[in-house]
DNA sequence: AGACTCTACTGCAGATTGCAGTAGAGTCAA
DNA sequence: TTGACTCTACTGCAATCTGCAGTAGAGTCT
């Protein structure tokens, strides 16, 4: 019966610590920054603040009428305390779901074009994120960002993302050039080239050293 | 009523395309490689092959008695066809859940020690994965790998992982050195240093160029 | 006046997780 | 030789989370 606070609850609670938001605003704000660290569905983002209210960590005020009601959520003192306590709890292991890599692992069931298409889609997806992060940092410079006192945190966050995207893009270039040299997706196995690469990797060296 | 094949179904189907496995073996095998592209719970990995049987994409044979029963799953021709068709479908966008980054974004609610502890935990988690991938590539060299004909695929896959882990580790070093210069986690905001970094990032340049 | 988009949600089925529980087989020590 | 422990090999269940469809008001544009 009594709801439990999950990591997602704390993510929403952390947003509420910045200011009060409506449910809708929370879903939009979560798209702007939270998404890159803690991607959650719009549906959950609507449900979490309700749970926070149930737990006494936030309060609601209903504005408007009938179906056009806006629910404005505000953090409580108990909410701020809970957020403080959360910071010293154990962090969950990262979880990276990259379907393009799954396609790569079993690329021998499809054509070279299928594999290259999966890589293109991956590139498109991360390219979008990449541009969004660069744009976000621009808003800190032109004064358009609502929380400039958080610049020092955003800067480290964005550095992580940009580094990661750049390394993904370097890999994509490398992967495409290797795939170009394959006769097909199937049964290539151990060749002088793949053995060379395997040897590097087993030695913890990246073949992308260039 | 009729079960639907999800990406996880195809992931398991792809494993079955290599050879027949028991449910238990599937959960173990998924830990060895699939986990890095498509992390799924043991529970799901037990349920998926049952669904494949229901869909006619695999068959089961029950071995042993009572509770010690082993269920051996084998792919069918329809399963191989389905796998082939899957390769040309749209790939889902990557999804990266990194709680340590969430902690970083809201680090001003805790102490510097809390933040550094979250980074340490992150480093420990990726370090484990990093070592496991290096070790996996070693098994291709010493002949211990059961599917050497897949070396060309594994090599690209592992290159991705090693590159990513190395970029994470470079970032951790950078982040720690920046955090060391903070007076506290709170309200630092825009300083000459953070502005310099913001400017680089808004220009799509990584401060880790060094 | 009708089509469309944006705000602002809710309900529901289905996908996924985590945890506890069951049970046999093998090891190892007192 | 018996009790403790680990490993194999799962299943059941509650709770979490997602995706999609549906509702409804307000503003815009044609």
Could you report the per-residue pLDDT of A123-134, keeping only the tens digit for each?
Answer: 999 999 999 999
- In tens, the pLDDT along A66-114 reads 556 899 999 999 999 999 999 999 999 999 999 999 999 999 999 999 9
Q: Nearest nucleotide to B47 by CA–C1' distance? A: D11
Q: Nearest nucleotide to B44 by CA–C1' distance? A: C16
A-chain CB neighbours of B39 within 8 Å are: 95-97
- In tens, the pLDDT along A33-60 reads 899 999 999 999 999 999 999 999 999 9
**CB-defined contacts A:B, below 8 A:** 319
- Mutation test of the interface with chain B: which of A12, A34, A201, choosing the one with the most B Cβ atoms within 10 A? A201
Of residues A65 and B109, which shows the higher confidence score? B109
Residue B159 half-sphere exposure toward CB, CA atoms < 13 A: 28
Contacts of A48 (CB under 8 A, 6+ apart): A8, A9, A11, A12, A26
pLDDT value at residue B187: 80
pLDDT value at residue A67: 59
Element (H, E) at A14: helix A7-18
User: Are B103 and B115 contacting, i.e. CB atoms less than 8 angstroms apart?
Assistant: yes
Q: How many Å apart are CA B127 and CA B4, to the nearest integer? A: 36
Closest CA to B134 of B151, B156, B159, B152: B159
Asked if B39 CB < 7 A from strand C, the reply is: yes
Q: Please say if the pLDDT value at position B1 is more than 50.
A: no
Give the distance, in angstroms, between residue B70 CA and nucleotide C23 C1'.
13
Q: How many Å apart are CA A136 and CA B198, to the nearest integer? A: 10
Q: Which residues of B159-186 are buried (b: 16+ CB within 10 A; e: fewer)?
A: bbbbbbbbbbeebbebbeebbeebeebb
Token couple for B182:
């903070």
- In tens, the pLDDT along B17-57 reads 999 999 999 999 998 989 999 999 999 999 999 999 999 99
What percent of chain B lies above the pLDDT cut of 70?
Answer: 96
The answer to whether the CB atoms of A151 and B198 lie below 8 A apart is yes
- In tens, the pLDDT along B171-185 reads 999 999 999 999 999
Asked if B152 CB < 7 A from strand D, the reply is: no
Closest CA to A45 of A70, A74, A13: A13
- In tens, the pLDDT along A150-159 reads 999 999 999 9
Give strand C nucleotides closer than 7 A to any protein Cβ. Answer: 7-12, 14-19, 22-25
**Eight-state DSSP code of residue B93:** P
Asked if B4 CB < 7 A from strand C, the reply is: yes
Q: How many Å apart are CA B131 and CA A93, to the nearest integer? A: 15
- In tens, the pLDDT along B120-160 reads 999 999 999 999 999 999 999 988 888 999 999 999 999 99
A100 closest CB neighbour out of B94, B140, B166: B94
Average pLDDT, chain A: 93
pLDDT value at residue B20: 96
Closest chain A CA to residue B143: A190
pLDDT value at residue A1: 42
User: Are B111 and B103 contacting, i.e. CB atoms less than 8 angstroms apart?
Assistant: no
pLDDT value at residue A2: 62
Q: Which residue has the tokens 């680090």?
A: B107
Give the distance, in angstroms, between residue B50 CA and nucleotide C13 C1'.
20
Of residues B210 and A15, which shows the higher confidence score? A15
């Amino acid at each position: 019966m009594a709801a439990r606070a999950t990591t997602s609850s704390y993510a929403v609670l952390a947003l509420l610590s910045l200011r009060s938001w409506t449910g809708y605003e929370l879903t939009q704000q979560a798209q702007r920054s939270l998404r890159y660290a803690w991607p959650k569905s719009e549906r959950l983002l609507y449900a979490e603040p309700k749970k926070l209210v149930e737990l006494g960590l936030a309060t609601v005020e209903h504005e408007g009428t009938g179906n056009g009601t806006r629910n404005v959520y505000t953090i409580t003192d108990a909410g701020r305390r809970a957020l403080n306590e959360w910071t010293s709890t154990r962090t969950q292991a990262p979880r990276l779901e990259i379907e393009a890599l799954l396609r790569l692992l079993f690329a021998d069931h499809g054509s070279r074009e299928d594999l290259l298409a999966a890589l293109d889609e991956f590139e498109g997806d991360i390219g979008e994120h990449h541009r969004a992060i660069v744009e976000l940092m621009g808003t800190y410079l032109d004064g358009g960002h609502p929380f400039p006192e958080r610049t020092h945190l955003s800067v480290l966050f964005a550095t992580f993302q940009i580094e990661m995207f750049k390394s993904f893009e370097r890999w994509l270039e490398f992967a495409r050039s290797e795939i170009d040299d394959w006769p097909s997706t199937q049964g290539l196995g151990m060749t002088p080239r793949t053995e060379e690469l395997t040897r590097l990797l087993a030695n913890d060296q990246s073949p992308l050293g260039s």
